[in-house]
Amino acid sequence: MKAAIIRQTGAPDVIEYGDLPTPEPRPTEVLVKVGAVAVNPIDTYIRAGVVSMISHFPYIIGCDLAGTVEKVGSEVKRFKAGDRVWGSNQGLFGRRGSFAEYASVDERWLYATPAKQSDEEAAAGALVGLTAHMGLFLHAELSPGEVVFVNGGSGGVGSSVVQLAKAAGAFVITTGGSEQSMDICRKLGADLVLDYNSHNLDDQIRAFSLPHGGIHVWFETQREPTLDRTVSSMAPRGRIILMAGRAARPEFPVGPFYVKDLRMIGFAMFNGSPEEQRAAADKLNTLYEFKRWKPMIGKVLPLSDAPLAHQMQEDNTLQKQGTIHGKIVLTP
């Protein structure tokens, strides 16, 4: 089978598109004929060697996938040949990655794909949808009528947070860096869309949120959080979600934080148990069927263009070029 692999960590051009033997599913695994995969920032950190997750080379890159079950291992209970499935969490903790024509995946990490959802869309929503869902509900315990703030509402995680928070009956404030980004945020249903370069951004956030008591859930997608700003905008008993910026060491306003009874929660989606992730996936599937969740696709490329896809992801997440709106999806 064709696969996008690396034999060493490094720049995007260490990715090779070559041949590997098609895997045989172990007893609890499902062999998926991959229809689409999606790129995430963590794929680029693993490839670059910044995050150590590779147990051996050659390493197949990639977390997310969607496709059709080709065959199942002897102990698989939930799937059979011909079922359409999607999932994430591959290429992590010694698991093989997803960027290949076939992927053998433990059934714990797979979910049924809604009938009307394409493989491209299912792959595009995998890691970001699970992240947004677990962040908002498992960790931040969002309630209807609360105010959610998320930076970058047209980004992978941000666009998911906007949609899921709206579907839960929250008021959503988000930001974009261009008219195109802000237009996407409005179309996703955000109540207030602001330019993150605006000189009076915080005044505008406060004018909207203070009548509701402030921000109840601040979902920070940026790698350099500004905690002084965040804490001052929060409602009493608000929750701040931190999930980006491994190297960030921002100043922390202890006094303003504790006198409001605030909570700050860090999480990485890949630490979620299979049960927690499946609960989130089931909710995402239901929301898709009710047209309340639609993963955003920014670009579709052939799998052989995996090096280009990684370069584009880095250009946007690390260099903040703002040239991709939605996920980069690849098809074998």
Ligand X SMILES: NC(=O)c1ccc[n+]([C@@H]2O[C@H](COP(=O)([O-])OP(=O)(O)OC[C@H]3O[C@@H](n4cnc5c(N)ncnc54)[C@H](OP(=O)(O)O)[C@@H]3O)[C@@H](O)[C@H]2O)c1
Q: Kindly list the residues in this chain that would bind ligand X in the complex (CB under 6 A).
A: 40-42, 127-128, 131, 151-152, 154-158, 175-178, 181, 196, 221-223, 243-244, 267-269, 316-317, 320, 322
Give the closest residue to 42 by CA, choosing from 63, 13, 16. 63
Tokens of 318: 């690390």
Beta carbon of residue 329, minimum distance to ligand X (angstroms, whole number): 13
Q: Residue number with the shortest CB distance to ligand X?
A: 155
Alpha carbons 270 and 248: distance in angstroms, whole number:
20
Beta carbon of residue 295, minimum distance to ligand X (angstroms, whole number): 12
Beta carbon of residue 151, minimum distance to ligand X (angstroms, whole number): 4
Of the CA atoms within 13 Å of residue 144, those in its CB half-sphere come to: 3
Tokens of 127: 């890691």
| Residue whose CB is less far from ligand X, 42 or 140 | 42
| Residue whose CB is less far from ligand X, 61 or 72 | 61
| Residue whose CB is less far from ligand X, 41 or 332 | 41
Tell me how crowded residue 116 is: count the other CB atoms within 10 A of its CB: 9
CB environment 200-209: b (16+ within 10 A), e (fewer): eeeeebeebb
Phi/psi region, residue 167 (left: phi>0; alpha: psi -120 to 50; beta: rest), is alpha
Give the closest residue to 12 by CA, choosing from 314, 244, 298. 314
Beta carbon of residue 155, minimum distance to ligand X (angstroms, whole number): 2
**Cβ partners under 8 Å of residue 276, min gap 6:** 134, 138
Beta carbon of residue 258, minimum distance to ligand X (angstroms, whole number): 24
| Residue whose CB is less far from ligand X, 158 or 307 | 158
| Residue whose CB is less far from ligand X, 285 or 316 | 316
Nearest-Å Rg of the Cα atoms of the chain is 20
Beta carbon of residue 76, minimum distance to ligand X (angstroms, whole number): 27
| Residue whose CB is less far from ligand X, 78 or 223 | 223
